[in-house]
């Protein structure tokens, strides 16, 4: 029974990787760099994007992943950022993550020729989004200080999957019983190669470094 289940999961991930490569070919053909942005629910991905997308030196768009609704897409669209909403609840069984096939279904709605950078804002979840490549060039995650220091130990695959960990909500540090050094040490245990940057998406502190990282990824690829 267990072996059958592992085989089903492996087959699904294998099919996903095939479609991810097809997405990647399409992105390459249009010279679009793609960043897969992940986090727990409410860690601040959208607020962070609101802060940085306007001031970017490259042309950026967003593919917004949610189980249902378009709350985050509406927020970004009001800033005149090109946004396409992808709901996992409509036709995809309410999945807790984006996969390559869902992203592929959104490609016809994306004006790739008008973009240098596409940020895919994944469904808020620290488990499954890390397992499904979608054709991205780089992966980043947002981890907020209100979530506690132990998250890299409890969800190591997510931290291991990302090149960059953005530690958000640092404006709240003085009001928490929170050991920032311990979080950074735990991130290093899960992923010694991860780049770490500190921000407050609410006050704007440190967001320039994330904006520079996004622009750097777009230029470097």
Smaller CB separation from a second copy, 96 or 221? 96
Q: How far apart are CA 128 and CA 125, in angstroms?
A: 7
Smaller CB separation from a second copy, 32 or 183? 183
Residue 123 is a binding residue for a second copy (CB under 8 A): yes
Site for a second copy in 10-69 (CB under 8 A): 40-42, 66-69
Residue 208 is a binding residue for a second copy (CB under 8 A): no
Q: How far apart are CA 92 and CA 207, in angstroms?
A: 34
Residue 126 is a binding residue for a second copy (CB under 8 A): yes
Stretch that binds a second copy, among 19-27, 50-58, 125-133, 213-221 (CB under 8 A): 125-133
Stretch that binds a second copy, among 21-29, 56-64, 107-115, 166-174 (CB under 8 A): 166-174
Tokens representing 6? 């592992």
Residue 9 is a binding residue for a second copy (CB under 8 A): yes
Residue 111 is a binding residue for a second copy (CB under 8 A): no
- Residue 221 makes CB contacts below 8 A (sequence gap 6+) with 33, 137
Residue 193 is a binding residue for a second copy (CB under 8 A): no
Q: Do 187 and 166 meet the contact criterion of CB atoms below 8 Å apart?
A: no
Q: How far apart are CA 4 and CA 18, in angstroms?
A: 21
Residue 104 is a binding residue for a second copy (CB under 8 A): no
Q: Do 20 and 134 meet the contact criterion of CB atoms below 8 Å apart?
A: yes
User: DSSP for 27-84?
Assistant: HHHTT-EEEEEEESTTSSHHHHHHHHSTT-SS-EEEEEEESS--HHHHHHHTTT--EE
Binding site for a second copy (CB under 8 A): 2, 5-6, 9, 40-42, 66-69, 71, 91, 93-96, 123-128, 131, 144, 146-148, 150-151, 153-157, 169, 171-172, 175-177, 202
């Amino acid at each position: 029974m267990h072996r059958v289940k592992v085989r089903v999961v492996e087959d699904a991930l294998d099919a996903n990787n095939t479609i991810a490569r097809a997405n990647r070919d399409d992105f390459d053909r249009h010279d679009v760099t793609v960043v897969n942005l992940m986090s727990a629910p409410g860690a601040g991905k959208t607020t962070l994007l609101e802060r940085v997308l306007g001031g970017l030196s490259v042309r950026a768009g967003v593919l917004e992943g949610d189980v249902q609704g378009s709350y985050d897409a509406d927020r970004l669209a009001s800033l005149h950022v090109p946004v396409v909403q992808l709901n996992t609840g409509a036709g995809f069984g309410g999945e807790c993550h984006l996969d390559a096939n869902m992203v592929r279904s959104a490609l016809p709605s994306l004006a790739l020729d008008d973009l240098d950078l596409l940020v895919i804002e994944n469904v808020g979840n620290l488990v499954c989004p890390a397992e499904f490549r979608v054709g991205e060039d780089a992966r980043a995650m947002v981890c907020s200080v209100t979530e506690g220091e132990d998250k890299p130990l409890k969800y190591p695959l997510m931290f291991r999957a990302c090149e960059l960990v953005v530690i958000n909500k640092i404006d709240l540090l003085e009001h928490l019983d929170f050991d920032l050094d311990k979080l950074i040490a735990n991130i290093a245990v899960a992923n010694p190669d991860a780049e770490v940057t500190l921000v407050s998406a609410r006050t704007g502190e440190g967001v320039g470094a994330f904006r520079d990282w996004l622009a750097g990824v777009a230029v470097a690829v």
